[in-house]
Structures are given as C-alpha cells and as structure tokens.
Structure 1
Amino acid sequence: MEKAEPEAPHVLILPIPAQGHLKSMLKLAKLLSYASFQITFLNTEYFHHTFLSSIDIRAFSRRFPKFQFVTIPDGIPPDSPRSGKSIAHYLISLTDAAKPAVVEVLVSLRSKSGRPPTCIIADGIIVCCSFRTYSACCTWTYFHLSNLIGGEVPLPDKDMDKLVTCIPGLESVLRHRDLPSFCRLEKADDHLLYDFFIAQASAIASIFSKIRTIVPLHCLSNVDDPTALASTKSIFWQEEKGCLTWLDSHPSKSVVFVSFGSVVTFTLDQMLEFWHGLVNSGKPFLWVIRSNAIIGEDDPRKILEDLKDNTKGKRSIVSWAPQEEVLANPAVGAFLTHIGWNSTLESIYAGVPMICWPLFVDQYVNSRCVSHVWRVGFDMKDSCHRSIVEKMVRDVIEMKNEEIMKSMEEISKQAQESVKESGPSYCNLDKMIQDIMSVNLENINRRD
C-alpha cells in the first residue's frame, strides 16, 4: 500500500491590526497558501468586519480553499478611535486583550483539528517566526535600544539633530530625532525582514541564526496566479480608480502623488500648509485625504468637499487610491509621504523619489535613510511649512535632482532584481517554505 501524502503545514498568521501591517501579512499568507499550506489568519473583530466589506469572501475562499479567518477582541468599544493620536492607547488595549485571546485560539485550533499550527508568523504579539514589516535599519536600531539607554537616552530636547554614536553601521547617519518611539524585539526561530537591502540585513544576521529578506511582496506574484497578489485592494477604504485615468492625461514624471497612509491625522492648518505648498509649486498633484484624517474640526467632510472644489483640473483629491498602481503610472514623478515602510518600498520599486514627512515609530529612521543613506528623496523632518513643500516639489519634479535620480534608478533596479526567479527575495521565500515543510515533517514523524 502506498504511503499517504503527509498533511500540509499549518501556519498561523498574527498581524498587528493596521492597514499597512494587515496588507503585508495578507500578501505573505497568500504566497504560503499557494504552496498548499493551511493558513489561519488572525484578525481583530473590528477590522475583520471592515475587511469583509471590501472583498468578495466567497471568491476569496474559492481561490484559497485552505485559508481561514479567526477573530479576537481588541479590548475597546467598536466606536472608539483606532488611529491618529489614539493609536498608542489602542495598541496598549490590544496587547492586554490579545495575549489571553491568542492562547485561547491556539487551544481551540488544537482541539478542533487535532493539530496545532506548525509555525506562527507574528507581527509583535507571539513570535516563533517573526515577519518584520519595517526596514532592516529600523530593526537594527531597535535591537540597540540597550546601547541607547546606556549612552544616549534620555534625549536632551535642545539638540535633536545630534548624531547617534552607539549603533554600529549608522554612527554618522541617525540623529536623536530619528530614533523610534518604542522598541521590542522578541526571540524567534526565524526572522523575515520586509526589506531587500542585503547589506543592512547582513549586520543583523550576525545576531540571529536565520534571517531572510522578502520584498516587495506585491511583486512576488509570478507564482500560480499573477493577478491575485498584485490586485490586493485596500482593506479599509474604497479605492477611487478614476484617478488612474486622470494620471494618464499628464506628461511623464510631472505629477506629485501625496498620501500619508491609513493612520496619520493632521490639523486643518497643517493640511492647508501642504495644500498651499503644492499649489505654489505649480505642479499637478494627486492627493489622498481620508475622511477621518482631519482632526479638531466639526465638519471635516465639508472641508474636504470645499477643498476638492478648489483643486479641479491640474489637481485631484480622492479619499483613497490604489497606491501600487498610482506609483507605477509613468506620470508620477514624486511621492510626498509619511514614509511608512510599505509606502517606502513601493515607491523604491516603482522608481519614484520621495519627499518625507515622518511622524512616529519607524518613519523617522525610514526618512533619514531615504535622504542620507540611499539618497532617493528629501527629509522634511517634522515641519510642513508651505515654502519647504514648494521647494522640495520643485527640486524633484522641475530640477530633477541629479543625485536623487541616479540613486533611485540604481536602488529601484536592485529591488526589481530581487523578485526575479533567481533573486534573493524569491529564493528566500522558497527557503522559508522549505523550512516550514521540514518542521512539519518532523512533527509528523514525532507523532508517528
């Protein structure tokens, strides 16, 4: 009698419930599903409800038959804010609620199916195999927090531009203002860096036994279905696809794309500084402004409608856009961004120089690397004065800053090479799949 095929590995995916993290982890989960893995994707009840409203769940289930969603509470009422200035409170509540809930999920998975997950890929909750959705430089900075505490922290407010001296490889790059607001690095059997900078990853590899770079996930789509990953939509907002037609009517590299992500909020004064700077530059722009992005105003929707009425023709304002497609459009010549890591990688892959307005967490490190390490954009620091916006837009779109353009061409080519069949990202994904299959086989043999 022929021996039956061994059961497929079972992977539990634990993302932080935020647009950028969910988006990256969902793409990774789909890639593993293509390898015939059984996937359990953990999400909070609040964000899973929002997610279900943005996809055809039946079509998703047909495409990924071994994919299941499991939900847990996040510890706060449904009508409580989960972005902007409330994000810190939300993450604290989530941490407290998630720990017992995740344990309950693990027990439930074992009792119902008779087999626990082969591997847990987590983004900051439980770590067996961790998938870092920020850069290698930021991971390296987090790891050296103890050095910072010993020699640099607390940071004096009087000199936030002072260079950090205790992080190997970044001694002359990072300033006090670039350091992340928190750090936690758990032990893991495997570390997956959402990064393609091999030189950065090699420094971290001296500490961790297994470390792999896997990026950009939206381009590792030449597996079984080239459209399944590339067409991943926004999880929270309806995309306004008409902006792509608007872009098609503009010359090459003439448009500024403006988007500050899914969490960032700003005051009306800050928004108007950006608006005046963009208008004064004389360049056409496509600006994503979420309905909940403006704070401190009684009727932000009315403000947005008035702004849209004043930005017709050479300018366009939308509530959400298909960012990967926008950046890939030949008309886009600059990206004004909050410099979240997804946005950074997507912009680099598309070869679009960045103007960075960092606000929290890894964004300060990302911005500093964009401007002073990779030299593919400008760092606005934490200022949003209209004159700075105007000058930086002109420097990229009009003056075609030679150093930035040359550096972006080189680094974008590196990113594109990484996802080819012989490239490091493609190979690292395959190695990770083989590792999980080996662990699964060991577990089966142990049971037998």
Structure 2
Amino acid sequence: MEKPEARKLGHWMVLVVYPFQGHINPMLQLATILYTKGFPITIAHPQFNSPNHENHPEFHFMATITALNSNCEAPFQQYMEEMMKVEDPHDRVAGVVYDGFMHFAQVVANNLKLPGINVRTSAAATLLLFAVFPDAHHEKCYISFPRTCEFESFNFGVDNSLDESTLIKFKNISHLKFFSLGPFHKLAPSASSSLLKEDTSCISWLDKQAPESVIYISFGSMVRMDEKELVEIAWGLANSEQPFLWVVRPSLVRGNSGDDLLPESFKERVEGRCCIVKWAPQKEVLAHGAVGGFWSHCGWNSTLESVCERVPMLC
C-alpha cells in the first residue's frame, strides 16, 4: 500500500458500507485512497456480510448496525455522538461518506451538522431512475455532495468518465453538483475485500494457457439461476472447444447449495481444457495475458475491471 501522507488533523472520515460484495469493494478502495491522503478512517457496517477486519488493520471498524435504513439511523447517530464527544478538539470528524443505499447516514450527518458525501457504487445510468420519482420524499437525501473545498482538492487523475453522456443527462435533470471518480481499484491496490475465499490455483492454470485463449466466466456474488440454465451454459462452453475458467460458487443454483453442480458427462468432455473454481481473484484473472474474453453478469465492478484490462465482454 502507498505510504500515507502526514495525518490531517481535523479530517477523520467515517465511511458507511452497504453489506454486499459489489458495494464493499469500491468503498474499501475509496477508504484506502483517503487513508493514503492522510485521513484516519472508520468503517461503519452491518454485522451481516461483515468485511474481514484483519485485511485492513489501518482502519477502525464499527459493527453496531444490525439492520438496514429503517433501523440503522438511531444506533449510527448514537455511535457518531459518542465518537464526537471523545475526539480531540483538534482532530474532529470531517464528514460521513456513505453508500447510496445507506441513505440514513445523510440524516445523521445533517443532525450532527457534518458534510455527507454519497458514493454511488453502480453505473451512472442507475441515477436516472430517480428522475422517475421526483416527488418521493425519502429520495431527496440520496444525492448530496461536499460543500467544502477540502473534499474537492484531490486529483484522482481522472480527466473523463466512462459514462460521461449519462452523467451530463443526469446533471441537466437534477441540477446537482457531483464528481466522477475512479476506477478506485486502479487507484488503490489493497488487500482483498472478498467475502468468499479466493482460489488462487486458477492463476497457475492460466500460466499454462496460450495468450488470449481462455474464456473467463463469472456471474458475480449474488446472481442465481436454475439448474437447467447452469447445464445449458456448461454444454455451451463444452461445445465452444475453447479453454475456459469458470466460477461456479456453491450458491449459484437455486435450491442447491452443494459443491457438485455439474454433470459427470460434462466434466469428462472438458477435461484438460478447463478450470472450475468456487471463487476467483478476479482482478488478477482479468489482468492475466491468457484471458481473451469475459462472460459476465455486467456488475459495475466487473465491467470496470474488464474495461481497464481491455478484455472483451460477453454480457
């Protein structure tokens, strides 16, 4: 990890994390970026799907939130009030950075007169959904951005955006000020934030394959399918006659959490030209020279990681 700059007195940052893999990754990457700029970091998260504290010893983790939004506001405010009581007067909390799904954090920030920064961890196109509900009262706190120059002074090295046209459209609709940042995973190489154990043996298998010959298949941490769909995908891969690396996590098939999800006849057909794992170190896989394509569910993290490595996608 990049050596942090001198600690900034008066700039303690609290980040509120939504408890799913696609949201945890970019928030912890952003935390690492802020940490390298000298900000002490506290991570507030639910006990469900808790990130591994041992992978990030430089952060202080606070796992007192036990439910989402409707039940989160009171315990989070209580923690923040206690934190602000004991802090050094020269080392105050500077603001709350929260995942857009954890919008209760903005209410608490307002109550405590702190800046609240909303981080959208999905594609900008999702912001256009809010234009459909202009009168929904609770949506008004979703888009909030820093009002002090201290948050705007960082140069993240981004001159334009992957979804710039969508952001322009949203700006015209909302008339809000916002910042396009990222990709975080390129700006903050850090310890793994994976909730599932990564099988790194697939990297040594990739080392033995020809350049750009392997199809990488992963549908993320949440997608589920019927057994019929899984078998159909399996035979499609078998018939492709291409070497492939396939992530088949135990919870991928509805109603079947077992390890043996694929038919024996398929395994015999593809023996020697495939590697099947329960979970893969995806950034390392996509950066590997043997990978020539990515069959993806198009989660935003997967999309950014694939685009950054110039790997074509089947979506």
TM-score, reference length from structure 1: 0.57
Whether 1:283 aligns to 2:233 is no
Aligned to 1:121: 97
Q: Are the aligned partners of 1:308 and 1:316 in contact in 2 as well (CA < 8 Å)?
A: no
Distance 1:307 1:327, change over 3 A: farther
What root-mean-square deviation, in Å, do the aligned CA atoms of Structure 1 and Structure 2 show?
2.9
SS of the equivalent of 2:260 reads helix
Superposition map of 1:338-353 within 5 A: 338-353=297-312
Q: CA deviation at 1:210?
A: 2.6
Distance 1:195 1:242, change over 3 A: farther
Aligned to 2:69: 95
Q: CA deviation at 1:200?
A: 2.9
More helix by share: 1
CA distance in 1, matches of 2:35, 2:95: 13
Distance 1:329 1:308, change over 3 A: farther
SS of the equivalent of 2:97 reads strand
Q: Are the aligned partners of 1:201 and 1:211 in contact in 2 as well (CA < 8 Å)?
A: no
CA distance in 2, matches of 1:307, 1:104: 58
Q: Are the aligned partners of 1:254 and 1:284 in contact in 2 as well (CA < 8 Å)?
A: yes
Q: CA deviation at 1:43?
A: 1.3
Aligned to 1:11: 13
Q: CA deviation at 1:271?
A: 0.8
Equivalent in 39, 42, 45 of residue 40 of structure 1: 42
CA distance in 2, matches of 1:260, 1:195: 25
Whether 1:262 aligns to 2:221 is yes
Aligned to 1:186: 142
Q: CA deviation at 1:275?
A: 0.6
Q: Amino acid of the residue matched to residue 109 of structure 1?
A: M
Q: Are the aligned partners of 1:134 and 1:195 in contact in 2 as well (CA < 8 Å)?
A: no
TM-score, reference length from structure 2: 0.79
Superposition map of 1:371-390 within 5 A: none
1:72-126: CA deviation from partner (whole Å, max 9, x where unpaired): 2434xxxxxxxxxxxxxxxxxx232322222222122112326663111111222
Q: CA deviation at 1:341?
A: 0.5
Aligned to 1:51: 52
Q: CA deviation at 1:203?
A: 2.9
Equivalent in 30, 33, 36 of residue 31 of structure 1: 33
Distance 1:98 1:144, change over 3 A: same
Aligned to 2:196: 237
Number of residue pairs aligned between Structure 1 and Structure 2: 280
Distance 1:246 1:74, change over 3 A: same
Q: Amino acid of the residue matched to residue 63 of structure 2?
A: T
SS of the equivalent of 2:32 reads helix
CA distance in 1, matches of 2:48, 2:126: 29
Whether 1:252 aligns to 2:239 is no
Q: Are the aligned partners of 1:259 and 1:287 in contact in 2 as well (CA < 8 Å)?
A: yes
Distance 1:7 1:185, change over 3 A: closer
Aligned to 1:132: 120
Q: Percent identity?
A: 28
Q: Amino acid of the residue matched to residue 145 of structure 1?
A: V
Whether 1:199 aligns to 2:175 is no
Q: Are the aligned partners of 2:30 and 2:184 in contact in 1 as well (CA < 8 Å)?
A: yes
CA distance in 1, matches of 2:216, 2:265: 17
Distance 1:234 1:122, change over 3 A: closer
CA distance in 2, matches of 1:201, 1:238: 35
Equivalent in 74, 81, 91 of residue 107 of structure 1: 81
Q: CA deviation at 1:303?
A: 2.8
Q: Are the aligned partners of 1:190 and 1:209 in contact in 2 as well (CA < 8 Å)?
A: no
Higher mean alpha-carbon deviation, 288-297 vs 185-194, is at 185-194
CA distance in 2, matches of 1:308, 1:109: 57
Aligned to 1:143: 130
Q: Are the aligned partners of 1:196 and 1:213 in contact in 2 as well (CA < 8 Å)?
A: no
Distance 1:318 1:241, change over 3 A: same
Q: CA deviation at 1:144?
A: 1.9
SS of the equivalent of 1:12 reads strand
Q: CA deviation at 1:142?
A: 1.6
Q: CA deviation at 1:235?
A: 2.4
Q: Are the aligned partners of 2:44 and 2:65 in contact in 1 as well (CA < 8 Å)?
A: no
Q: Amino acid of the residue matched to residue 130 of structure 1?
A: N
Distance 1:335 1:190, change over 3 A: farther
